[in-house]
Chains A and B, each alone.
Chain A
Amino acid sequence: MTAPAPDAATTTVSSGTVGPVVILAGGLSHERDVSVRSGRRVADALREAGVEVQVHDVDADLLRFLRETEPALVWPVLHGASGEDGSLQDVLALVGVPTVGTGPRRSRQAWSKPVAKAELLQGGISTPDYVTLPQALFRDLGAQTILDMIVERLGLPLVVKPVQGGSALGVTRVDEASQFPRAMVDCFSYGDTALIERAVDGIEVAVSVIDGPDGLEALPAVEIVTSGSYDYDARYNPGPVEYFTPARLDAEASARVADVALRAHEILGLKHLSRTDIILDAEGTPHVLEVNVSPGLTETSLLPQAAAAAGYELPTLYRRIVEHALAPTH
């Protein structure tokens, strides 16, 4: 696949007559480290593509910096709270600077896993059966009774995860009921509401979607094969996980997961880029686990792998995203 040649919008980005592209990376979320690494990779790629780039943390100096720099565009490469939950996007909208990525309202909805799951279900996309419960409810009604009811209704194995956040932080697979209380404690250390869903076994794939000048495009699915869980360590330490890109799926299954990712992107109203994590079960039904508003862009992340499999050079791809975000119709 050949990326489009730079157009007039690109010239604007790199001409020096307007401000640079500002990459926001870091922040104070649990995923700061991932964000810093993602931001550095995006900045390097854009510089290679001839775009003037500055990288800035999300801190007390940010607004002064934005006022003085007058950037043409801000790309929040942020993971976790404030970066993905729409609040920073709200502030950037107040500043009046165009941004890469989904706007505040839709970010807020997609950031909440149960809200996103409800929207997907309403749109006809399967997602594992689940319950969402705040810590206070366990206190009010009795923890063990609720845990027993959940096991009775959803069965085992289960996956416990915070309703917000990424990188599998606070996520535990529960194979036996005795593991359930510990999983809840670990989850509530990351946030005060837990999403507990039925674990679905099958082929695990991630499909990245980019929103370019030619419309939405699903990149080749990345298949994730790991002997344990695809947890934080597995995600960010090269080696233990084996990735197949494109996934070892026949044409029909590949089309099915691509279609699900595109529809999820549209249903949730996402912009420019997203990544949908999917399990293809024994019957070949795709179940969406999560949709990521701000997918990881580190050296081990899935979107860059998918882009490479599609024949994109990252500098070209990221420049295209920048151009699209700057396009007057946007």
Chain B
Amino acid sequence: MTEQNRLTEQTSGTRLDPWFGAYAERTRGMRASEIRALFSVANRPEVVSLAGGMPFIEGLPLDVIGEAMDRLIRTRGTRALQYGSGQGEESLRERITEVVAMEGVEAHPDDITVTTGSQQALDLVTRIFIDPGDVIVAEAPSYVGALGVFRSYQADVVHVELDADGLVPAALEATLSRLAAEGRRAKMLYTIPNFHNPAGVTMSVERRPQILEICRRHGVLVVEDNPYGLLGFEDDPYPALRSYDADGVIYLGSFSKTFAPGYRVGFVIAPHAVREKLVLASESAILSPSNASQLAVETYLDTCDWRAQIKDYREMYRERRDALVGALAEHIPAASWNVPVGGFFVWVKLPEGLDAKSMLPRAVTERVAYVPGTAFYFDGQGSDHMRLSFCFPTPDRIREGVRRLATVVNAESELVQLFGTTAQPDDDPTDVEIPSPDLA
């Protein structure tokens, strides 16, 4: 560097953020990324987005709901618009016990804490149990929103193998034993047993008691995240893990997928002592969940045929799942994927050598979007996978999206063969690499 051209008296410039040195360590991954910027195109109508997980709200009877909400404000407005209790409206909690009973959960309204979406429930559970450096065991891959919460509390996430029947008991046993041998106790197993996000698989009924027994023996709390449980395509709902073990399982539920995410109403069912702490933690965070949203959900459950609506959703999502897997078989046979029996997602393994993150700009050019697999790992793995969601686009749009994706995959395959590259682990897994919730 040329010193004769250099004026040296100025030693510090500007970083455009006067608080740059003041942020907590837990904010390290909270920043814009190139991948996230690419998603900004995804909400344009020209793009077929197979990226986001937005439910198909157009399927709701909006006129009926509109009248019910109008009546709610006119008749119970002074309650709906007032502060509420930290634990949530008792009348809603009573209705929640009926909903979870469909999955075999026997809950008392006192066991339930209403939250601002189940994402807040996840935050509260992590807040009351996890100190920096504590180990959380999660499936490989796992829900990106949970990994973000765990990262923000500076947990260490250890992934455990998943197969077509969900979390593998032998792998869980081996992992917990290894951690114990290393002097690291896992505090929590975070699992999505039904219609996994992103993997699409469902934990078999046979494995459920096995997983619980392993965790009980190792003194590991089970956090069961179950937003999609009622959205199965084939059978009656699977029995919730909590239906087997009320003391060892914290159950997270949500109305975002079965009704509407706009109200942001979720809930957590926990053992009594845990529930006490959850309520106090929630009060310290938000005072109380939105009364207006809670009463809106309660009104919906009281006045609309929500069971029929769920049935409609199931049929609609099954049709979309069929469109997606059918199109994959037709257009991208060199990839492999599971066929989910519920939920929103198909987890696709790309043909040899392809890197989903590296390929995303080409996909955006072709007007199709997906989420690269690296978003769903704490350790940068997953670059050879992508998550495709079928919840929002219509079947025709899904088929068109997969056609475009096939063009992308073919071009990228030629490229990696040409240069002999392979999928690479993400060099910085702390980046936010998922579309924001409002981008389908």
A67 touches B (CB below 8 Å): no
A239 touches B (CB below 8 Å): yes
User: Do B5 and A203 touch across chains, with their CB atoms under 8 A apart?
Assistant: yes
Nearest CB in chain B: distance from A12 CB, A: 34
Of all chain B residues, which has the CB nearest A190?
B361
A36 touching B40 in the complex, CB below 8 Å, given contacts A239-B15, A242-B15, A244-B13: yes
Query: What are the interface flags for A181-192 relative to B under an 8 Å C-beta threshold, 1 for contact and 0 otherwise?
Result: 110111011100
Chain A residues, CB < 8 A from B78: none
User: Do A248 and B14 touch across chains, with their CB atoms under 8 A apart?
Assistant: no
Of all chain B residues, which has the CB nearest A285?
B2
Nearest CB in chain A: distance from B322 CB, A: 30
A283 touching B2 in the complex, CB below 8 Å, given contacts A32-B40, A170-B361: yes
User: Do A202 and B37 touch across chains, with their CB atoms under 8 A apart?
Assistant: no
A189 touching B361 in the complex, CB below 8 Å, given contacts A203-B2, A281-B2: yes
A6 touches B (CB below 8 Å): no
Chain B residues, CB < 8 A from A34: 37
Chain B residues, CB < 8 A from A242: 12-15
Chain B residues, CB < 8 A from A93: none
Interface residue tally for chain A (C-beta within 8 Å): 56
**How far does the alpha carbon of A189 sit from the alpha carbon of B45 in the complex, in Å?**
22
**How far does the alpha carbon of A135 sit from the alpha carbon of B418 in the complex, in Å?**
9
Of all chain B residues, which has the CB nearest A182?
B421
User: Do A245 and B361 touch across chains, with their CB atoms under 8 A apart?
Assistant: no
Within the complex, which residue of B20, B40, B44, B418 is in contact with A138, where a contact is CB–CB below 8 Å?
A: B418
**How far does the alpha carbon of A77 sit from the alpha carbon of B33 in the complex, in Å?**
21
User: Do A32 and B31 touch across chains, with their CB atoms under 8 A apart?
Assistant: no
Q: Could you tell me which residues of chain A, from 264 to 311, have a CB within 8 Å of some CB in chain B?
A: 280-284, 299-300, 305
User: Do B14 and A189 touch across chains, with their CB atoms under 8 A apart?
Assistant: no
Interface residue tally for chain B (C-beta within 8 Å): 47
User: Do B33 and A238 touch across chains, with their CB atoms under 8 A apart?
Assistant: no
A243 touches B (CB below 8 Å): yes
User: Do B4 and A184 touch across chains, with their CB atoms under 8 A apart?
Assistant: no
B273 touches A (CB below 8 Å): no
Nearest CB in chain B: distance from A259 CB, A: 14
Within the complex, which residue of A135, A245, A250 is in contact with B4, where a contact is CB–CB below 8 Å?
A: A250
User: Do B14 and A245 touch across chains, with their CB atoms under 8 A apart?
Assistant: yes
Chain A residues, CB < 8 A from B365: 30, 190
Within the complex, which residue of A225, A241, A284, A300 is in contact with B2, where a contact is CB–CB below 8 Å?
A: A284
A225 touching B13 in the complex, CB below 8 Å, given contacts A203-B1, A248-B7: yes
Chain A residues, CB < 8 A from B17: 238-239
User: Do A233 and B44 touch across chains, with their CB atoms under 8 A apart?
Assistant: no
User: Do A30 and B41 touch across chains, with their CB atoms under 8 A apart?
Assistant: yes
Among B297-305, B308-316, B409-417, the one that faces the other chain is B409-417
Chain B residues, CB < 8 A from A241: 15-16
Chain B residues, CB < 8 A from A29: 41
**How far does the alpha carbon of A237 sit from the alpha carbon of B31 in the complex, in Å?**
6
Q: Could you tell me which residues of chain B, from 13 to 51, have a CB within 8 Å of some CB in chain A?
A: 13-17, 20, 31-34, 36-38, 40-41, 44-47
Chain A residues engaging chain B, CB cutoff 8 angstroms: 28-34, 36, 59, 135, 138-139, 143-144, 167, 169-170, 181-182, 184-186, 188-190, 201-203, 223, 225, 231-233, 236-245, 248-250, 252-253, 280-284, 299-300, 305
Beyond A202-B1, A203-B2, 5 additional pairs, beta carbon < 8 A: A143-B419, A181-B420, A185-B355, A203-B6, A243-B16
The 18 listed contacts between A and B (C-beta, < 8 Å) are A30-B37, A30-B361, A32-B44, A59-B44, A139-B418, A143-B420, A182-B419, A182-B421, A189-B361, A203-B6, A233-B31, A233-B431, A239-B17, A239-B20, A249-B7, A253-B6, A284-B5, A299-B16
Chain B residues engaging chain A, CB cutoff 8 angstroms: 1-2, 4-8, 10, 12-17, 20, 31-34, 36-38, 40-41, 44-47, 355, 358-362, 364-365, 367, 412, 414-416, 418-421, 424, 431
